[in-house]
Amino acid sequence: MMGRTHLALGAVAGVHLAALSPRMGLPIMAAALIGAILPDVDTPYSKLGRRLWPLSTLVLWIFGHRGGTHSAVFLVIVTALMWMVSAPVALALGAGIATHLAADAISFGHGTRFTARGAGVPLWWPLAERKSGLRLVKVNGPLENLVILPWATLYAAQLGWRLL
């Protein structure tokens, strides 16, 4: 899905976790939002990848888009590393990454950045390279832009508003 939708879905996860630990609300929200776009560090065409283009170009060259950074092992390693710094922030970062993987697993696109079927994520990489997912939502299509994005944005905003 598009970066803005990933951010909105990350915000949904973030506000729920922030509600559990209001004193850590700000770092938890920040971590959930960063986690939500972190897997797309594997393409210089993404929100994050554009800003870190030397890194994203290198990661794209090594793994390809929707490669290793879209796997369970990436989720576990990043969360475990952050756990050494802060457990609540690590959980939020992991939750953000999880929303990204889930959203990409049900969305598909076209062009060289996607696989032949254009859908899914290689969840079990590097054990299995095969991508699994469903062709439910077209990337940047009407379902994403007119339903999922507005719903997630409004949901996160109204829940976040109550936390302030």
List contacts with Zn ion (CB under 5 A): 39-40, 104
Q: Which is nearer to Zn ion, 42 or 88 (CB)?
A: 42
Task: Name the burial class of residue 95, with classes exposed (0-12), middle (13-18) and buried (19+) by CB atoms within 10 angstroms of its CB.
Answer: buried
Report yes or no: 154 and 13 within 8 Å, Cβ to Cβ: no
Least separation in angstroms between residue 63's CB and Zn ion is 12
Q: Estimate to the nearest angstrom the gap between the alpha carbon of 162 and the chain centroid.
A: 24
Least separation in angstroms between residue 45's CB and Zn ion is 11
Q: Which is nearer to Zn ion, 104 or 144 (CB)?
A: 104
Q: Which is nearer to Zn ion, 83 or 114 (CB)?
A: 114
> What's the number of CA atoms in the CB half-sphere (13 Å) around residue 6?
28
Least separation in angstroms between residue 39's CB and Zn ion is 5
Residue with tokens 């888009």: 65
* Number of other residues whose CB lies within 10 A of the CB of residue 155: 16
Q: Which is nearer to Zn ion, 40 or 144 (CB)?
A: 40
Least separation in angstroms between residue 103's CB and Zn ion is 8
